[in-house]
Amino acid sequence: MELWFTLLRREWELAQRDLRADDLDGAIAAIRRSVHHLRSLDASWQSLLWLTPAEFNGFRDQLGEASGFQSYEYRHVEFLLGLKAESVIRPHKGLPAVYADLERALLAPSLEDDVLAHFSRRGLPVPAEVLERDFSVTYEAVDEVVAIWADIYRDPRPGNELFVLGEALADVAEVFTTWRQTHVSAVRRAMGAKPGTGGSSGLAWLERSAARVVFPDLWAARTLV
* Among positions 82, 91, 202, 216, the unique one binding ligand HEM when judged by CB under 6 A: 202
Task: Output 63 or 131, the one with its CB closest to ligand HEM.
Answer: 63
Q: Identify which of residues 108 and 186 has a Cβ nearer to ligand HEM in the complex.
A: 186
Radius of gyration, CA atoms only, the chain: 19
Say how many residues touch ligand HEM, by CB under 6 A: 24
Shortest CB 206 distance to ligand HEM, Å: 5
* 6 binds ligand HEM per the rule CB under 6 A: no
Instruction: Kindly indicate which of the ranges 20-28, 111-119, 141-149, 200-208 contains the residues binding ligand HEM, using the contact rule CB under 6 A.
Output: 200-208
- The answer to whether the CB of 98 falls within 8 A of the CB of 34 is no
Please enumerate in sequence order all residues whose Cβ is within 8 A of that of 90, keeping only pairs 6 or more positions apart, or say none. Answer: none
Q: Nearer to ligand HEM by C-beta: 82 or 196?
A: 196
Please tell me whether residue 117 binds ligand HEM under the rule CB under 6 A. Answer: no
24 sits near ligand HEM (criterion: CB under 6 A): no
Indicate whether 85 belongs to the interface with ligand HEM (CB under 6 A): no
- Helices 72-80/96-107 angle, 10° precision: 10
Tell whether residue 71 is a contact of ligand HEM (CB under 6 A): yes
CB of 191 to ligand HEM, least distance (A): 5
Among 6, 136, 181, 197, binds ligand HEM (CB under 6 A): 197
205 is a contact residue toward ligand HEM (CB under 6 A): yes
**Residues at the contact surface with ligand HEM, assessed by CB under 6 A:** 1-2, 48, 51, 67-69, 71, 74, 88, 183, 186-187, 190-191, 196-200, 202, 205-206, 209
